[in-house]
Structure 1
Amino acid sequence: MKFHLLLLPLALAACTAERPATPATDTPVPAAAQKTPVAASMVLDAATLGRYHWQLAEASDAYGAHIDALFARDDKPVQLDFADQRLSISNTCNLMNGGYRLDDDKLKIDSLQQTLMACADPKLAELDRAVSSRFEGSPRIRLTGSEEAPRLELTSEAGDKLVFAGEPTAASRYGGEGEQVFMEVAAQTVPCSHPLIPDKQCLQVRERTYRDDGTVAGEPGEWEPLYQEIEGYTHEAGVRNVLRLKRYQVANPPADGSSVAYVLDMVVESEQVAP
């Protein structure tokens, strides 16, 4: 059985606000105070946003109450990624993405798309709605902190405040975009020799090649044990996967480490294999 993703436009404009707007104030706001401050060591632009994975750390509504619905997955916080002028939202039930641009202190987002998957868990179904509704219109965006510990603050038009902590992407950590490769992972691991890890089990892998139209090119090679981890990938026994990876050169690997690193980009194909 194979699983495939299908993108479906997500109409965000139809959503309605959950609470009344914050009462207006009669006190004038100086023009200088209307500008969103940015950390002195960082610049709020596409390049800076693209150097990090942004994981949700805090969320409160206009009245300061914690937004429980945005934390339905304790082990996987909602994550934002900015690349090629597109915003991707993951660790929800369905993946979401759409074009974006920065307009002073506003984040302008095109109509989001999402994968079409049924959310059996009601909390995950609510998570999708709770996330998408906070990106309606043009939320305010603010960058604080430092390059070592950046924070991204988004304030929705309803006054909800979402704070994301930045984690450097693999391209930032390894100093380059890396090489795209496809790797097939067998359903079962195999014992492999490791000087520091007794009884180590390794993934069985082989590289795959695809043409530009997505069709398979050539025959896969022999299965080989992979003595290192694939960042971002968790293997499930009995499931064969084809992965799209980024392969990076490691500048100064440790004595017992590899000179290359593999980072998961996406799962291209997945199949349950009978034992």
Structure 2
Amino acid sequence: MKRTLILSLPLALLAACSQNPAPAGNADDLAPAPAAAAAQKTAAHLDVQRLHGQHWRLKDATGADGKRIDALFVRADKPVTLDFSEGRVSVSNACNGMSGGYTVADGNLVLSQLASTRMACEPSIMALDEAVGSRLQGTLKTELADNGELTLRTAQGEVLVFAPEPTAETRFGGPGERVFLEVAAQTKPCPHPLIKDKQCLQVREVQFDDQGLKQGEPGGFENFYDNIEGYTHEAGTRNVLRVNRFKVANPPADASSQAYVLDMVVESAVEK
């Protein structure tokens, strides 16, 4: 049976004219209050470039009562993740993919209502979509800590803490090449000087046009000695993967000069 997945503005300086002289006093008298200074520091820290180039993995979430929000952690091995790019934020590792627009205003994150795909999952994971979407909307008070963690505070007093993880583009120093790889259902033995009885994925490259239609005839399957980051193969399942291929600068002598990172599974089919 075949399963197919269809897939700031800078603040202007206001010049005010006044006939009255400035009040006398020393510099300390004119310095901003501690709370105002902290707010200025937070606003200065939160900028678009700080948000880009990282996957933001949900690390902790507590309600106004200080208790952990368990509904946001039903996928312990795949934490809810935010990615920011060109005025859009996307949410992954829920049931459905979600995305929406965002801006930064007065040092805070302002999110539009998130749009979502409509794929069915088991109930607890479907409920995760609502748990995420209901919190990631409107204006969220925002802090970036010295250790890089991003904290979002909702109007209801909930606190969400995200840890940064560099994206592949950040790690490899630039954008990758988008390619499609078909992975056969079964692995096969392949020679390797360091690994006895190594099994290799059987992979071939496939081509798609702008409408998503396959083009031409793919070649034969070949041993694939590299890893595909983010992909776990299940024996008996054939997959077509959309991956980003990166050049690795100065790889070790026994390592590949290319790195592959999974973007999405385009097509999946169980073969008996």
TM range (shorter): 0.7 to 0.9
Number of aligned residue pairs: 246
Match of 1:264?
Answer: 262
1:24-43 to 2 correspondences below 5 Å: 32=36, 35=39, 37-38=41-42, 43=45
Tell me which amino acid in the other structure corresponds to 2:270. Answer: Q
Report deviation, 1:38: 4.2
Tell me which amino acid in the other structure corresponds to 2:256. Answer: S
Report deviation, 1:272: 1.3
Report deviation, 1:65: 1.4
Match of 1:181?
Answer: 179
Report deviation, 1:172: 0.4
State yes or no: 1:199 paired with 2:200: no
Match of 1:16?
Answer: none
Q: Aligned partners of 2:160, 2:173: CA distance in 1, in Å?
A: 29
3-state secondary structure, aligned to 2:3? coil
Q: For residues 182 and 100 of structure 1, do their structure 2 counterparts lie closer, same or farther at Cα, with a shift above 3 Å needed?
A: same
Q: Aligned partners of 2:40, 2:92: CA distance in 1, in Å?
A: 27
Q: Aligned partners of 2:157, 2:163: CA distance in 1, in Å?
A: 20
Match of 1:23?
Answer: none
Report deviation, 1:44: 2.5
Q: For residues 67 and 217 of structure 1, do their structure 2 counterparts lie closer, same or farther at Cα, with a shift above 3 Å needed?
A: same
Report deviation, 1:188: 0.8
> Bigger shift: 153-162 or 99-108?
99-108
Q: Is the 8 A contact 1:180 1:244 kept in 2?
A: yes
Instruction: List per-residue Cα deviations over 1:112-153 (Å, max 9, x = no partner).
Output: 111212232x3212222111111122112221124xxx2011
Q: For residues 255 and 34 of structure 1, do their structure 2 counterparts lie closer, same or farther at Cα, with a shift above 3 Å needed?
A: closer
Q: Aligned partners of 1:131, 1:54: CA distance in 2, in Å?
A: 14
Report deviation, 1:174: 0.3
Q: For residues 108 and 256 of structure 1, do their structure 2 counterparts lie closer, same or farther at Cα, with a shift above 3 Å needed?
A: same
Identity %: 55
Match of 2:218?
Answer: 220
Report deviation, 1:183: 0.8
Structure 2 gaps of 5+ residues are 8-32
Scaled by the length of structure 2, the TM-score of the pair is 0.85
Match of 1:155?
Answer: 153
Match of 1:13?
Answer: none
Match of 1:118?
Answer: 120
Q: Is the 8 A contact 2:82 2:89 kept in 1?
A: yes
Structure 1 gaps of 5+ residues are 7-28
Q: Is the 8 A contact 1:153 1:163 kept in 2?
A: yes
Give the CA RMSD over aligned residues. Answer: 2.0
Match of 2:62?
Answer: 60
Q: Aligned partners of 1:4, 1:156: CA distance in 2, in Å?
A: 33
Q: Is the 8 A contact 2:46 2:108 kept in 1?
A: no
Match of 1:130?
Answer: 131
Q: Aligned partners of 2:74, 2:141: CA distance in 1, in Å?
A: 24
| Structure showing greater Rg | 2
Q: Aligned partners of 1:30, 1:98: CA distance in 2, in Å?
A: 35
Q: Aligned partners of 1:191, 1:39: CA distance in 2, in Å?
A: 56
Report deviation, 1:51: 0.9
Tell me which amino acid in the other structure corresponds to 2:197. Answer: D
Q: Aligned partners of 1:129, 1:262: CA distance in 2, in Å?
A: 32
Match of 1:24?
Answer: none
